[in-house]
Amino acid sequence: MDLTAILTSLLTLLAGIGVFLIACQMMSSNLEAASSEKLKKLFSKASDNKLLGVGIGALGTAAIQSSGATTVMTIGFVNAGIISLMQAATIIYGANIGTTVTAQIVALGMFGGNSVSTSVIFSAFAGLGAFISLFAKRSTYKTVGGILAGFGLLFVGLELMSGSMEAFAALEGVKTFLAGIGNPILLVLLGTVFTAIIQSSSVMTSIALAMVVTGLIGIDQGIFLTMGSNIGSCVVAVIAGATSGTNAKRTALIHLLFNCTGVVLFMLVAWMLGWFDVSFGGLFEKLFPSAPQVQLAMFHTFFNTVTVLIMLPLTGALVALVKRLIPEKPLAHDEEFTLRYVDDNMLRTPPVAVSQVKREILQMAEIALQNVDRGLEMATQLDFSEKNLFERDERQLNFINRELIAFVVKLSGKSGLGEKDRTYLSSTYRSVRDLERIGDYAENIVEYAVALSESAQQFSDDAKYEISQLKELLHRLYKSALEAYTNEDLEALERANAIEEQIDDYTRRMEEGHVERMEKGICTPSVGAQYLELSSNAERIADHMINLAKTIRSLQAFRTDLPQRWARDRS
């Protein structure tokens, strides 16, 4: 009979863990979708201010209910060179504080007694959220439904886990066995291993809460299991860092050292308190009597907050240590190029990854224009001193084209993206291709310059002047097109359209001027052919620039300020 009861309890515990993990994933993905714009703005404000970094990490983690996602996203930012190791360290500190919110929510759901428990009340949100998700037509309402359903399922999983613990508590053999595990180091190791296996400190903490509430273990045992869960939670960061660059590995090590340092310090304090027959459990029992779930949840918050306060002044030393432990290594030949703003780690936080895709495209546009400038300079001055740089950047454009498209394909398949983000991603395929084509046309212009040089010919002074004017128009178009693309600015798009039309007119006048010079014998037919091809390629470059800006039209349906803009236009 005991064997049957144990097997049933184990299966119930496994079911509870599964529901709890699914609930965490549902809440995280839907919260990300609901707060995507605010989340993007939040992480864009990262600076060298340590307290600001802690605040960003805490708020971001509390918003998406996943310290793992925040940590992996931070590793992605560091790997891309967007934030420094110092900034990453403080964000990770904050994530450790933000993750304690889950334990506080779970503890709240464990109240009830003879009345209807809060856990049952909160579990009902699963049904409410499911109805909203099934029958709502607007994506916003579906996202809200997903959040409510995830929140409710969180407590359904908790009820299953608590039920299994109550069944275990009724078995004297199990209680006696668990009561015998009093060694703090062993309890920390158990918490570490179990958390590493399921890759969720929230689940480990929730199980510890359920075990404490049902009397299966004491508060001190729950405290040491929870401390171990902090170390076990580092496995996500370690896995993410292991497959990334040097700074990503350093960030993962910062996370591991930070959490291990906190556990070691608290273990030493617990050992010293033992000299006076005092324990953390006893202290928190006095602070929060008759509420074991609150005692453990509050210790969890206290532990992480105090660890942050201790480590914050030592961040510089911690960063210096990890730099010594993981030194820089020379790049291999196949690592000549990398995507600057995105990597696969960011797929854990799709809304933020979308904003990083945009930054990657803007960087690609800058490289493309730089090569256009180099090509026109070679064509007019026959100066090939930057030809190697041109060829390197052309290879980089091809690399970004290939790798960024592959990343967007993977990102588009992720849940947690709002309708606007999905619409934007669908436009990026064309945008990346447009920018790659600009690079190709710049390459054509360099070929014309090489042909002129090999034939010992050059453009006339009039032709050079016209090309310089064309270059100025292309720069004006680039500025307006990028302003429109970056800010989704329709007025900037109108300016870009007007400049693009000027370029069309100007290239036609260039052709007419070329004919006049041919008639006067100023230009030779072979030079004239190169000149006409150059103007034609420049006109196509302008077409691809304006194509990039025009992609914002598909996003206008999501603009919240359109009614105000219409009202302003009418007035």
Total residues found in the chain within this entry: 571
In the predicted model, what is the mean pLDDT of the chain? 82
- Lowest mean pLDDT, pick from 17-26, 218-227, 556-565: 556-565
Residue 95 makes CB contacts below 8 A (sequence gap 6+) with 57, 58, 60, 61, 67, 70, 71, 74
Question: Which two structure tokens, joined as six digits, stand for 247?
Answer: 């700074």
Res 366 pLDDT > 90: yes
Residue pointed to by tokens 């800058």: 366
Stretch 433-450: mean pLDDT, rounded? 92
Question: Which two structure tokens, joined as six digits, stand for 149?
Answer: 């359903």
Banded model confidence at residue 38, pLDDT cuts 50, 70, 90: low
Q: How do residues 453-512 score in pLDDT, each as one tens digit? A: 888 888 888 888 889 999 999 999 999 999 999 988 999 999 999 999 999 999 888 888
Res 391 pLDDT > 90: yes
Q: Give the pLDDT confidence score for residue 567 in this predicted structure.
A: 43
Q: In angstroms, rounded to a whole number, what is the distance separating the alpha carbons of residues 166 and 174?
A: 11
Res 36 pLDDT > 60: no
Banded model confidence at residue 7, pLDDT cuts 50, 70, 90: confident
Res 566 pLDDT > 50: no
Stretch 208-230: mean pLDDT, rounded? 87
Stretch 31-39: mean pLDDT, rounded? 61
Domains detected in the chain? 2-325 (no CATH), 346-570 (1.20.58.220)
**Higher-scoring residue by pLDDT: 257, 1:** 257
- Best CA proximity match to 335, nearest among 403, 267, 278, 270: 403
Q: Give the pLDDT confidence score for residue 28 in this predicted structure.
A: 66
- Lowest mean pLDDT, pick from 237-246, 493-502, 555-564: 555-564
**Higher-scoring residue by pLDDT: 358, 419:** 358
Res 206 pLDDT > 70: yes
**Higher-scoring residue by pLDDT: 571, 16:** 16
Stretch 261-280: mean pLDDT, rounded? 92
